[in-house]
Amino acid sequence: MADVLVEVGGRSYRLACRDGEERSLLAAARELDRRAKGLEQALGALTEARLLLMAGLQATGDLLESGAAGPEGAPHAEARLARLADGLEALAERLETLARLEHGPSRP
């Protein structure tokens, strides 16, 4: 078993995984952290539990919709996750733009 230190929501967690799965675990943690940050920016302050629950449910829902969560999708899961990450980055940018429009222009 390998130990991996991941950071999600501004907190560090030491997690165990099978040898050879460290890279996948780090990628999953980065994805969850990206989602959590996007939700926090869009919705404001949330409890840590609610923030991580919402980010996890969002990720799981996307995986279920894409079919990557089933055994038949496993070989393509990494490519799907990469596309999902790109889509999330674009969504985060749109949410940031909407937040700026909603709060008006910032003043120096």
Task: State the alpha helices, DSSP H only, in 8-76.
Answer: 22-43, 48-66
Given a cut of 70, whether residue 59 has pLDDT beyond it is yes
Residue 16 is assigned to a structural domain of this protein: no
- How many domains is the chain partitioned into structurally? 1
Residue 62 is assigned to a structural domain of this protein: yes
Residue 1 is assigned to a structural domain of this protein: no
The whole-model pTM stands at 0.57
| Domain containing residue 62 | 22-103
pLDDT tens per residue, range 74-96: 556 666 666 666 666 655 666 66
Q: What b/e sequence results for 47-84 when a residue is b if at least 16 CB atoms lie within 10 Å of its CB, and e otherwise?
A: eeeebbebbeebbeebbeebebeeeeeeeebeebbeeb
Given a cut of 70, whether residue 33 has pLDDT beyond it is yes
Residue 3 is assigned to a structural domain of this protein: no
